[in-house]
Amino acid sequence: MDQSRAPLLEAIEDYRRNDRYGYTPPGHRQGRAIDHRVLDVLGQQPFADDLLASNGLDDRLSSNQYLLHAEQLMAEAVGA
């Protein structure tokens, strides 16, 4: 396996590059639905970073298998 890969980071990069929008939890929609007072204190970044692997980065069937590939890489890295 290619241990230089980072499947979840690559999926997040693609998600942001394509300005995707999830219709599933978390309900704040990466900051789009947060009260302005909360954003004034925390900023948008904590919410922009809150994505689900399934039904967020991937579809409901996990067709792109981002999480599976990340798990396989980790298992190989630690000899599991």
Give dist(CA 55, CA 21) in Å, integer: 10
Residue with tokens 């994505």: 51
pTM: 0.69
Each residue's pLDDT tens digit, 28-59: 677 777 888 988 999 888 887 777 777 778 88
For residue 41, the model assigns a pLDDT of 94
pLDDT band at 5 (very low <50, low <70, confident <90, very high): very high
Q: Of 23, 28, 21, 27, which Cα lies nearest the Cα of 44? A: 28
For residue 49, the model assigns a pLDDT of 76
